[in-house]
Structure 1
Amino acid sequence: MHEFMDYVRNAFYDATGWNRESSYSSLNSTANALLNFPTPVGVRLTLSSLASPNFATSYQLGSVGVVDGSISYLYSSVPLDVHITPQSDRTPLATPFQSYRPLPALPRRGDDQLTPYPLHSPSAASLLYGRLYLPQSLLEALVIRRVSPALQLQLSAVSGQFLRDGGTLLGLAQYDVGRYSLEGLASSDGGLLGLRGLYNFGNEVDDADGAAPFPPPAVPSSGATANGGVGGVDETRERIYGRFSAGGEIYYGTLNKSGGVSLGARFATLPAHRGTPLTATLTLNPLMGNVSATYALMAGRNCSLATKFDFNVFSYESDWAVGMELWRKRPQAPAAPISSVEKLVRQRSFQAKLEWRMDDPEEVKETITSQKDADTGAGTSDDDEYTGVLKARLDQNLRIGLIWEGRAKSLLFSLGSGIDLRHSESPFRTLGVEVQFSS
């Protein structure tokens, strides 16, 4: 289950127009969500609230052998209530639980993309986040600052007595112009320095209205086909609307004198694609000899599948994993019987008969609506089409991860288990439940 503060932080990115998927670090985000989801351990309860449009709090209490918990606070300089539904009884389940998400449109930056925002401008948005873990007194902090339309700075820190040097500090400078993005990082842990980059191919960002790079192929209105033939079927193959991205990263530890490099590519269909949504990635680590390929798709409106294959060219070792996400739809309610008011308005009212006219359609509609609201309660309809989701994964070591997520009354819950089939005497290695309430 995505924590409430992650939900709020994503709302901050939406409010400021920052594309989280336009980064090399997010190249495998879809496959990771389907294959590497965490299973709950023990019992954990979370109470959260968007106390004001700019301020959120969260309190967590858990029990895994010992009682632990955390206290979180978040402040945003831009209001978030427009981009978030904080009430757990009204939040669509797909928002916190869905793993496969289509790529958003690339941002369009102007010529002033590097011009800094005025210091007190609403566009110069800031986010402050802090979390204290108890009883170990571990402190986590995050600061995000939007400097210009294309530049964003992040500073995160972790402080604890059991950590080396008492804590770590990580700084990120993110530059995104839509066509490509760059990210520089520096960490106090090992004196790590790194650079990442991702380039998007195609002319999607050049489209003026931000839609798909090419309009959907038109279906001939007459019997003639697109290639000039005669018949009722268009022989032109349907175009695949997708985005191809490629990039890499390089990093070096100044203290331990070691470094690394990786290369990666991704193809993902866009929402304009009328076929099966899919995402495929390939990443290489030349120094370690690792090759990783992932493939994820939405097999239907209620089912997503993913697979991953890793291979090392030096040791010839390989790993694989498969994952599934299956949604349970809300059963359709039976058609309501026709109320007495609807039966009444099917005939002309007495006043209309006296005036030799038909009933006013607007008056009839208003009468039926007001009567239905009085019978069922206005504003109590639930537009969420799902009641829960089952997630499962299996790897080459016969380890299974199962989790069921849904809503009970006003509570969001996650019930899951980790199973190891190699230990037939006690296959259930972990078992837990998480409950979350937010207002």
Structure 2
Amino acid sequence: MLGFMDYVQNAFAESTDWNRDNSYGTLNATAQALLDFDTPRGLRLNLSSLAAPNFATSYSLGSVGVVDGSVSYLYSSVPLQTSAKSCDIDLHRVIRGYRHLKELRRPDDDAWWELWHGGKRIDRKKTLLYGRILVPHSTLEALYLRRLSPTRQLRISCVSDSSLNNGGTILGLLQNDHGKYSTEYMYSTDSALMGVRGLYNFGIDPRVEPTIPSGQETAEPVQGRFSAGAELYYGILNKSGGISTGLRFTTLPHHTGFPYTMTLTLNPLMGNLSSTYAVKAGQNLALCTRFDFNFYSYESDLQVGCELWRKRRNPEVEWAVKKLRPDWDTLTPKPDDDVAGVLKARVDQNWKIGVLWEGRVKELLFTLGASLDLKRREQIFRAVGVELQYSS
């Protein structure tokens, strides 16, 4: 489940019309959400608040061997009009699951972002600032996010930790999204790493108005999207680099059949080949498989996962009961009023199993999970944990 600060950062992206899915870095986001979920360890509590539309705080406390925690602060120059109370947050927005990609949108014109008064331009760049300190290790994390233009975004993140080389590292990422394609340029102080990656979407160009044949009132909706991308990076200090390329086909909202996503990624230097297939087999069920193969060592790995959303038995009856409360006039239905939670599970060829149950009980969001290794009969349970989140 997304942490509150990650949820707020996603709200900032939505408020600034930034498409997080139009990037090579999110090519495998669907498979990662269904197969690479983290299972909590021990007990962890999170208390968060959106004190003002521009300011959020979060406190975390956990117990895994030793007591640890964190304190986080976030500032956004754009007012974030989103639900902050844990009892009102849409579960679909905080639980990672099957990703339904939307139609590509045409980038705004630069002139639309300009604000003039008295012959002077007074508009400011949309900015997000985030900081977190981890205790007792005294690790400091920071994020600076700035929208430079309708098609460009600058992201600078840094970590200060005595255990790292030079006491910390800084990562800069310049992102460009033109709808039809996207590019990213990266630089990290760790080994003076430099990189570039891009993603190209085949088919209709959102920047160009579609031509409609004579006798037809509207253009035919697009049902799928094929994308191809690649990345290249090189470390100047350690004189090592890497390259990868990937393909993705996914159905769009107008698709009449079952939604599905297929990806294929290749790292020729390491010899790794990975293919995934995810399908929304029903309204409440999604399935995913991933096959990895190395053509240098001939080693392979297979993972299978699923997510099953649990619906409420009588959502209409529960909604009628809610209406009997004093706040009749202010009560509005939520998109997830019929959802009680989601069950996730994965298993690989070595019989390592991960199980996760996420949902909401009363005013709290909860995550209950366990990791099992069936081949280690003397200690089948590798980790068991519970995480609770409350926000206001």
Q: TM-score under structure 2 normalisation?
A: 0.91
**Equivalent residues in 2 for 1:106-117, closer than 5 Å:** 106-109=104-107, 112=110
| Deviations 1:142-195 (CA, angstroms, capped at 9, x unpaired) | 000111111110110000111110000000000111011000000011110000
Separation in 2, partners of 1:132, 1:58? 11
CA contact (8 A) 1:190 1:255 kept: yes
CA distance in 1 between counterparts of 2:267 and 2:122 reads 44
Question: How is 1:226-237 mapped onto 2 (pairs within 5 angstroms)?
Answer: none
Q: Specify the alignment match of 2:164 in structure 1.
A: 163
Q: Give the letter for the 1:143 counterpart.
A: Y
1:332 aligns with 2:314: yes
The C-alpha deviation readout for 1:115-158, integer Å capped at 9, x for no partner, is 99998525x20000000000000000000011111111011000
The alpha carbon displacement at 1:287 in A equals 1.0
The answer on 1:415 being equivalent to 2:376 is: no
**2:240 corresponds to:** 258
1:292 is matched with 274
Q: What is the deviation of 1:394? A: 0.4
Q: How far apart in 1 are the matches of 2:315 and 2:107?
A: 47
1:46 aligns with 2:25: no
Distance between the aligned counterparts of 1:328 and 1:374, measured in 2? 25
CA contact (8 A) 1:157 1:169 kept: yes
User: Is the contact made by 1:390 and 1:405 (CA closer than 8 Å) also made in structure 2?
Assistant: yes
- Determine what percentage of the aligned residue pairs are the same residue: 56
Q: Does 1:278 align with 2:260?
A: yes
- Partner of 2:83 in structure 1? 85
- Partners of 1:375 and 1:56 in 2: how far apart? 30
| Aligned-partner Cα distance in 1 for 2:69–2:348 | 31
Deviation at 1:205, TM superposition (A): 1.4
Other-structure match for 2:22: 22
1:328 Cα offset (Å): 0.4
Largest Rg, 1 or 2: 1
Deviation at 1:109, TM superposition (A): 2.5
Return the offset for 1:104.
2.3
The match for 2:347 among 390, 394, 398 is 394
Aligned pair partner of 1:432 in 368, 385, 392: 385
Alpha carbons 1:116, 1:147 under 8 Å: kept: no
* 1:301–1:289 distance in 2 versus 1, CA, 3 Å: same
Structure 1 residue 188 corresponds to structure 2 residue 186: no
Three-state SS of the structure 2 residue aligned to 1:299 is coil
CA separation of 1:418 and 1:297: change in aligned 2, threshold 3 A: same
Aligned residue number for residue 226 of structure 2: 244
Residue 142 of structure 2: aligned partner: 141
CA 1:30–1:293: 2 relative to 1, 3 Å: same
2:178 paired residue number: 177
Give the 3 Å change call, closer, same or farther, for CA 408–190 of structure 1 in structure 2.
same
Separation in structure 2 between the aligned mates of residue 375 and residue 75 of structure 1, nearest angstrom: 35
Aligned amino acid, residue 377 of structure 2: S
Unaligned runs of 5+ in 2: 211-217
Q: 1:29 corresponds to which letter in structure 2?
A: A
Deviation digits for residues 42-96 of structure 1 (CA, Å, limit 9, x no counterpart): 100000000000000000000001000000000000000x2x2111011122221
8 Å contact from structure 1 (residues 419, 428) kept in 2: yes
Measured in 1, the distance between the counterparts of 2:208 and 2:150 equals 19
8 Å CA contact 1:108–1:205 kept in 2: the answer is yes
Answering whether residue 39 of structure 2 is matched by residue 34 of structure 1, we say no
- The 5-angstrom pairing of residues 342-353 of structure 1 reads none
Task: Give the partner amino acid of 1:388.
Answer: G
Partner letter of residue 123 of structure 2?
A: S
d(CA) in 2 for partners of 1:426 and 1:193?
43
Alignment CA distance shift 1:274-1:63 (3 Å) = same
1:92-113 per-residue CA deviation (whole Å, 9 max, x = no partner) reads: 2222114112112323126649
CA distance in 2, matches of 1:267, 1:90: 34
Question: What letter is aligned with 1:121?
Answer: D
How has the CA–CA distance of structure 1 residues 112 and 293 changed in structure 2, closer, same or farther, with 3 Å as cutoff? same
Query: Take 1:136 and 1:306, find their aligned partners in 2: how far apart are those partners?
Result: 37
Q: CA deviation at 1:334?
A: 6.7
Displacement of 1:387 in angstroms is 0.4
**Equivalent position amino acid for 1:187 in 2:** S
Amino acid at match of 1:46: N
What is the aligned counterpart of 1:318 among 295, 300, 304? 300
SS at match of 2:375: coil
Q: Which runs of 5+ in 1 are unaligned?
A: 217-239, 339-371
Q: Specify the SS of the correspondent of 1:7.
A: helix
The aligned amino acid for 1:131 is: R
Mapped contact 1:13–1:20 kept (Cα < 8 A): yes
* C-alpha deviation, 1:289, in angstroms: 1.2
Contact conserved, 1:55 with 1:73, CA < 8 A, in 2?
yes
* SS, match of residue 422 in structure 1: coil
Q: Is the 8 Å Cα contact of residues 107 and 207 (structure 2) preserved in structure 1?
A: no
Structure 2 residue corresponding to 1:309, chosen from 288, 291, 298: 291
Q: How many residues align?
A: 376
Distance (whole Å) between structure 2 residues aligned to residue 165 and residue 86 of structure 1: 38
User: What is the distance in 2 between the residues matched to 1:381 and 1:132?
Assistant: 37
SS state at 2:9 partner: helix
- Structure-1 separation of matches of 2:137 and 2:185: 31
Counterpart contact for 1:49–1:56, Cα < 8 Å: yes
> Contact 1:113/1:177 (CA < 8 Å) preserved in 2?
no
TM-score by length of 1: 0.81
Q: 1:379–1:293: structure 2 CA closer, same or farther, 3 Å change rule?
A: same
2:343 counterpart letter in structure 1: L
